[in-house]
Structure 1
């Protein structure tokens, strides 16, 4: 067994702060730049998406909401350059809301975890991946912390994708996939358990295996990079690995 490093609240908050600032910086650079990792998106659309997520999560957390706040109650972004300041206001709002919350407090979420701990983790990973997207619009994006990224792999396969599979018409690969982190602790075995995702943290043989650093495994799992990316090694059924990563589309 190779446990994934545990990430504490302060690390999540620090990542949310720094990566959110980097997204805003990308917006100030060029809102019309295309985001290659999100086909059809510009930097402006990325700021609009993340900014609305911040406002939605911020309201749920600040109001200690135990029922969903409807999407039509979440403000939509302005047009033009004003979206950067609008994004920054949302970024400050969600940080302030989370700073005043305790991880074990109850709150509504779309996942099976209904405590504030879910949002500390989700906002850090949402922001990290979209920061990478925003910077990719201008060339080589900065790295994602490897331990944080490994935690993001676990979050994706234990919370995010199980929700999607349960609520949308999504089929799972029959083949198993083993992920092995090469720059620290972290191994995952993914399998189809009667139409549900089963994730175990263990060293085990899968029909496919992928070895890479923590950041690369996270980006693969969110289909931001492919198996041909430098530093990624694939063994066995590569199509099975691609099928697992395609679930995050």
Structure 2
């Protein structure tokens, strides 16, 4: 997916989320983010989209002003649908005004800028829509091709140099000497191999033998990797090889779950 496709999907996924949460109980707990209420979830999605819109729209080279301008959602859940839609539209306008090579700060360590943020907003709303589904007792569905793209975002972000350097707990747990994990979506093209090295986790888009292989529908793979569904409840996933290695990986995929 390119930047425009990611941004189009952000608007569409946000629209679905907005319809789900419209008028709902703001204090409802979010089981997949145990410290969050539904209001916290809405704040996070809409506030992040507005923050990224500021970063991209104003070509920021460092994030302090965007972070300081973080906007919380309305207290009245009856206003959430419009507020979320406005945030996604604001983000779209910002991306429409920029090119992929427009200089914009990003935390990846790879100076990926505009493409990074379009992919990141897409991955964010896909995963957080799963949080809303869990909070509201709704069925979560995501087209296989979109689920592959969201899984790519999750894995690329979690294995980025920036994440490694800014999360010493993650780095300590993930240091290794070449152990490999193979993730394979079975309903759309998508395969990744993560290799644990002493100084980082290397992510490759490849098919190869690994210490553990995890295969199944892309949406199920996304939910388990992002800790939105327990592995034991993911009956469609097949785990071959060192299951304990995969469990260790999941235990440390704790990026936005608290």
Moved more, 164-173 or 15-24: 164-173
The 5-angstrom pairing of residues 114-133 of structure 1 reads 114-133=112-131
- Per-residue deviation at 1:173? 5.9
Report the Cα offset of residue 78 of structure 1.
4.0
Deviations 1:166-186 (CA, angstroms, capped at 9, x unpaired): 212122064421112111222
Q: Which residue of 1 aligns with 2:68?
A: 72
1:87, CA displacement in angstroms? 3.3
Does 88-97 or 181-190 show the bigger shift? 88-97
Is 1:91 matched with 2:93? no
Q: Which residue does the alignment assign to 1:176?
A: 180
- Matching residue of 1:14: 8
Residues 1:26 and 1:173: Cα distance change in structure 2 (over 3 Å): farther
How far is 1:195 from its partner?
3.1
Does 2:32 match 1:37? yes
Q: Distance in 2 between matches of 1:181 and 1:14?
A: 23
Q: Is the 8 A contact 1:135 1:141 kept in 2?
A: yes
Runs of at least 5 residues in structure 1 that lack an aligned partner in the other structure:
1-6
Q: Residues 191 and 207 of structure 2 are in contact (CA less than 8 Å); yes or no, is this contact kept in structure 1? A: yes
Matches of residues 106-185 of structure 1 in structure 2 within 5 Å?
Answer: 106-111=103-108, 112-162=110-160, 163-169=162-168, 170=170, 171-172=173-174, 174=176, 175-185=179-189
C-alpha distance 196-37 of structure 1, shift in aligned 2 (>3 A): same
2:212 aligned to 208, 211, 214, which one? 208
Greater shift after overlay, 11-20 or 52-61? 11-20
1:3 counterpart residue number: none
Match of 1:239 in 2: 244
Moved more, 233-242 or 78-87: 78-87
Query: Higher relative contact order at CA 8 Å, sep ≥6: structure 1 or structure 2?
Result: 1
Shift of 1:215: 1.4
After TM superposition, the score normalised by the length of structure 1 is: 0.88
Scaled by the length of structure 2, the TM-score of the pair is 0.85
| 1:161 and 1:248 in contact (8 A); partners too | no
Q: Structure 2: 5+ residue runs without aligned partners?
A: none
